[in-house]
Structure 1
């Protein structure tokens, strides 16, 4: 049984500052550029369309005004959550093409709705070159939602974005895993204080991408599922300069492919979003082609035979879902397991062993899930199965993933001495 991928364009650039006083961020062009490289046919994906974003106009914003485009981002996030929820309701695997990191608010809202419906928590794997954790508690002012995305989805910041539909936080701090920030990220200590676990690039490289993905599975074993956010500025600018805020010290394409494949190789991974690629810095499409190659290879486990989508749909009862009652090892959290919500995953399927295995726990078909609601296999359109940013970087490395030796990075895991471009972070 397989999961079919559905690709949804979310070309919003509302979360970034303008590159110049007379231009707008180019990442809204990313979905079209990636489609032009054959992403959908290569994934054998269903085209889930495009959610057009509101007009970009940052001319009126001044420091102290709060997050720029907040009203537009809030409306767009609710609409995006509707579209993602509809894809998941079809037992499909959403791949959302951004856009800037503010699209995470829409994905987060969709995940919170889903968690409430099934009576479980949904986690977040945040793969990004920057922590995006600026908020009023650690900054003199806020303004660009892309640079505040992780703070907002964990409940920090102004309520019109951090508490859409009265939901706050969308993800709990203990249910977030951060990969790929640079060793000297400005907000790394704030993440640590919040209890958000991280693997900066040196640790990610020394532990290896595949083992890091397995580690993420283990950290989120108490969750009913998780969402994956990927900002392509996690890549080193020596290999991926086509972003708005390139930061030296990133990973290689091969490492991202292995990490992505490990993260999606379980039915508990509910979907992936891709953000911040800027085709304005890629006139010949070479970097778009590299991204597509990486995404296609990285998502191969999703459509492999035996990739069974979880049943996360709850019965429409018209009542609020009960509070999550999941086994957990986090202090202060109830540990008494409760009965599964109608149509939800059985508690036994949340154990780390089943999360890592890529299959539902034995007995899931008898744990409150009617047989007629179990997922059916998904074939392609022909009926055939799928074939199997301004932080300083600390160059000190504890080691490296062997795959880096094939990636164009040096034996020590260090990037090229000089990256091709270095621009101020537009989300700063």
Structure 2
């Protein structure tokens, strides 16, 4: 069986300073997690620490490239050396960051091994953000922790994206992204690159254990994979101690199940944990929660045998020659131009169309996100303007634009600013003329044109629909603490402003999914399916007896 080895990588070189006189506190994370007994509770070997250079951005300005680039490249080589030695010894590295720039060291170690085997090694990227900023889609770059996935896939300046002339460290087809927010600014770039991803609402709807199985299936052509975990994948209601908290994340129990499903195979080479900032955790409560999650989630890693690297080298299939040079991708148009809806043909809609309504189709983008045969469950959205009716995700429209389209027929749309009238030559009249010409054929707005508020409404509705089986967001210790007022009881993360009073409690409020690690491991081997145990709703209280009739 494999032995877990805990290696500290306390680098904060990839972040900007919180203030002009401070440095990012994530460099303290390994010590904080160790103080809560992580090494002992994992029964792991202490593999020491790779000490980073000093954090000193100097006079860096936007347009100067990635800050600390030379120091990060030097540190990545040292970290890759240590990770490679652990893999050679048949151990399972658990690397404690630090910020997300430590991924470059892990990626370099994986690429060295991939080159030795002449076989692909993949990446499971568990993060609340895509970190896919690069010169092809941003005006400038600067903080490597916000660009690490782009750099790891060969995009960006060569001193970081091509260390040791290795570029890319991971091929796009060998990367799976889990847990990003649905409004992530670079999700369309992931889509265009062919990188498989599953956003947090979809991960929650499908289930963490099944999402882990799906990710392993996507990477089935690789001989192994590395797992990157940024704790900001958790919802800030339960994990605010990060540099960039973003609502809409997952729960601790979901992260635990996700990790258990990913590491319960010899093909998982190791895990890194990043971005936890003890400066935002003065009591140590969140560090304790992270340790509880890691101890439970990483336990299956020690139950499997390490990979036989010699046998893999003898049987590996050669990789196709890389395409060089890998130029940065240029910014892409979010959507194809809108076209009028036309009646569906007898043969049905083609693969490049999406259903917009009964008897009509509208041109849409090619389906992406998930290269698997099974269709994913569609989010269900309640449109405020539609009353109680519920429509599929493909029919979601931006409310304001939908009202404008409806106004072309019924006259209910608000007039353009300045009371522009058709034919008066103003910009507003041009838009009005176009709407009148299209009439009832005006197209629906595709899903990718949804605003941030619409996306969050979609998440709320989708999760509300599954509330009977939803995983509660709560601290890992039983009753919610006073500081966790937003996460009290079993209220859903996106419904904490108006929690459901009738939601049934979890079977065990402290650990609603305790004991499922064995099921996750068994499911990974195909022995049993993963399914949530239905929870019986609480009995309704008996109606009060009517008051006795008054006597004369």
Q: Does 1:405 align with 2:472?
A: yes
Alpha-carbon offset, residue 323 of structure 1? 3.9
Is the 1:89–1:313 Cα contact (8 Å) retained in structure 2? no
> What's the counterpart of residue 416 of structure 1?
496
* Structure possessing the higher relative contact order (Cα contacts under 8 Å, 6 or more residues apart): 1
How big is each residue's C-alpha offset from its partner over 1:193-249, in whole Å with a ceiling of 9 and x where there is no partner? 000011001100110000000001100000000000000000000000000110011
Provide the rounded CA distance (Å) in 1 between the counterparts of 2:39 and 2:457. 37
Q: What is the CA distance between 1:59 and its match in structure 2?
A: 2.6
Using the size of structure 2 for normalisation, the TM-score is 0.61
Q: CA 1:411/1:289 → structure 2, altered by over 3 Å: closer, same or farther? A: closer
Uncovered stretches (5+) of structure 1, i.e. residues with no partner: 327-351, 353-390, 419-428
Q: Which position in structure 1 is the counterpart of 2:271?
A: 272
Matches for 1:103-142 after TM superposition, within 5 Å: 103-142=102-141
Aligned to 2:288: 289
- In our comparison, the structure showing a higher alpha carbon Rg is 2
Counterpart CA distance in 1 for 2:472 and 2:495 is 11
Instruction: Give yes or no for contact 1:250–1:415 (8 Å, CA) kept in 2.
Output: no
Paired positions, count: 349
User: In 1, are the aligned partners of 2:101 and 2:148 still within 8 Å (CA)?
Assistant: yes
Call closer, same or farther: CA 1:78–1:322 in 2, change over 3 Å. farther
Q: How does 1:22-421 map to 2 (within 5 A)?
A: 22-304=21-303, 307-313=304-310, 323-324=318-319, 394-397=456-459, 398-399=462-463, 400=466, 402=469, 404-405=471-472, 407=474, 408=487, 414=494, 416-417=496-497
Moved over 6 A (4+): 314-317
SS of structure 1 residue aligned to 2:472: helix
Provide the alpha-carbon RMSD of the alignment. Answer: 2.3
8 A Cα contact 2:15 2:24, kept in partner:
yes
- The verdict on how the C-alpha distance between 1:316 and 1:297 changes in structure 2, with shifts beyond 3 A counting, is closer
| Structure 1 residue 19: Cα displacement | 0.2
CA shift at 1:394, angstroms? 2.1
**TM-score, with length taken from structure 1:** 0.78
Deviation at 1:403, TM superposition (A): 5.5
In 2, Cα distance between the equivalents of 1:153 and 1:324? 18
Q: 1:415 to 1:109 in 2, by over 3 A?
A: farther
Secondary structure of 2:124 counterpart = strand
Structure 2, gaps ≥5 residues long? 322-371, 373-451, 475-486, 499-552
Contact 2:237/2:493 (CA < 8 Å) preserved in 1?
no
Local SS of the residue matching 2:189: helix
Contact 2:65 2:141 in 1 (8 A): yes
1:179 to partner: Cα distance: 0.5
Measure, in 2, the Cα distance between the counterparts of 1:209 and 1:152. 27
